[in-house]
């Protein structure tokens, strides 16, 4: 994941992110199961609400935050038999920032994606969820 956060106020920021990960979509039917390995790319924009910071013994300051927003997710199958597909996505999450310097920090966060399952233009894979 790579992103940029722009602070609007001391408690509110907007953020643009690019995510890449590998995933398997598994489709189960009455007679068979199909698993499609794929590369997944996401471009998202989120609003980040910063919660009050606090001190911890091992680090100087920990700054928690929550986020929500949306974007697009691109599914790129690693098999040649199905085509790539895009879906809109809702993004939500939470995490903490630990400053290392004035303009650099270490972040631990959870990001969840909600999107309609891709069917790769194949009727046998259409589960409409």
Reported pTM: 0.78
User: How many whole angstroms from its chain centre is CA 100?
Assistant: 24
Nearest C-alpha neighbor of 50 from the set 125, 101, 2, 109: 109
Mean pLDDT computed over 13-40? 83
Mean pLDDT computed over 88-113? 91
DSSP states of 10-79 as a string? SSEEEEEEEEEEEEEEEEE-SS-EEEEEEEEEEEEEEEEEEPPPB--SSSS-BEEEEEEEEEEEEEEESS
What integer pLDDT is reported at residue 57 of this predicted model?
Answer: 79
The Cα 103–Cα 122 span in angstroms is: 47
Mind listing the pLDDT tens digit for each residue in 29-57?
666 777 788 899 999 999 999 999 988 77
What integer pLDDT is reported at residue 29 of this predicted model?
Answer: 66
What integer pLDDT is reported at residue 25 of this predicted model?
Answer: 75
* Selected residue with higher pLDDT from 39 and 127: 39
Burial of 85 (0-12, 13-18, 19+ CB in 10 A): middle
Q: Which CATH class is domain 2-125?
A: mainly beta
What integer pLDDT is reported at residue 127 of this predicted model?
Answer: 64
CA dihedral 105, 18, 71, 108 (to 10 degrees): -30
Mean pLDDT computed over 84-107? 90
């Amino acid at each position: 994941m790579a992103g940029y956060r722009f602070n609007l106020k001391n408690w509110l920021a907007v953020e643009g992110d690019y995510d890449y990960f590998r995933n398997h979509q598994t489709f189960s039917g009455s007679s068979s199961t199909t698993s499609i390995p794929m590369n997944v790319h996401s471009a998202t924009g989120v609003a980040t609400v910063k919660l009050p910071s606090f001190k911890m013994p091992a680090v100087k300051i920990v700054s928690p935050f929550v986020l929500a927003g949306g974007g697009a997710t691109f599914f790129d199958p690693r098999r040649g038999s199905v085509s790539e597909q895009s879906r809109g996505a809702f993004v939500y999450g939470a995490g903490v920032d630990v400053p290392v310097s004035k303009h650099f920090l270490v972040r631990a966060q959870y990001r969840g994606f909600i999107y309609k399952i891709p069917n790769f233009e194949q009727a046998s894979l259409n589960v409409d969820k």
